[in-house]
Amino acid sequence: MIYTVTFNPSLDYIVSVEDFKLGLTNRTSSELILPGGKGINVSTVLGNLGIENTALGFAAGFTGDEIVRRMEEMGVKSDFIWLENGMSRINLKLKSIDGTEINGCGPKIDQEAVNSLMDKLDVVGQGDTLILAGSIPNSMPDDIYRRIMGRLDGRGVMIVVDATQDLLLNVLEYHPFLIKPNNHELGEIFNVELKTREEVVPYGKKLQEMGAVNVLVSMAGEGAVLIAGDGNVYATPAPKGTLKNGVGAGDSMVAGFVAGWMKEQDYKYAFYMGVSAGSASAFSELLATKEEIKAVYQQLISN
């Protein structure tokens, strides 16, 4: 079984505003509400690819109810821990100004709730896959990813981590199967600016030396690079297409890679599936469908 964990899920309110002006009343030209959070996005795309999985995480309040309702509507199985106080966050994402968003804080997660999550994770074992994705609320211990991986160490679980800075660096000693920084996040770790596919390779290899098995680096319009566990480096420019919605593209890449690896146990195939899924989501208003991913994959392998 594949499990994803989203510590701070959200309702993503994605809007377009033509000719946005500060200090004035602006009206939307399009609106979309989706369940959000990196783990939820991974679960959604895995489901679109026909791969059964369970989304774990925390939810609270009327927004938590709506997140779970919309996930069920999309066919995503969840087993969230309900919090008595607060409410799951709402994230405002402004499509018409690329990369502009206002993200909520989310509810306070106490030690009892953390313990409940750990109890759920105790069922994870040999042959299972666990995907830890995204930021954590301020109320949680900042080494929570490391605690989870330490608890599962030696159980034969394939673990994927999509996080930044210390959340990522603290888990490398447990040899995650896959980590997926983007080029900016990778550069921040080593205090350098990385713009080309060639430039990211030596720094990806450093993360490998620190413990990661595979390092997948997403680079938006520049494409992607995989520093693979078999010693090879795979790279590709970005597939051709029109950017419609970048939200969830990186999460889709993780889902595509995991799906590809599960099917073929081949790094090159998994890499191309990851790039295809990430790009297909970027070219779509919603997270990519199986047919959309297949179309981009055919483009990649024909070039």
Please list the active-site residues. 251
One-letter amino acid at 110 equals D
d(CA 88, CA 110): 14
Sign of CA dihedral 170, 174, 175, 178: negative
d(CA 238, CA 219): 8
Q: How many residues in total does the chain contain? A: 303
According to DSSP, the residues that pair with 93 across neighbouring strands are 14, 101
Helices (H), 109-248: 111-121, 144-152, 165-169, 183-190, 197-209
In the chain, helix, strand, coil percent, each to 5? 40, 20, 40
- What single DSSP character describes residue 150? H
Q: Up-side HSE of residue 100: CA atoms within 13 Å toward CB? A: 9
CB–CB of 181/168 below 8 Å?
yes
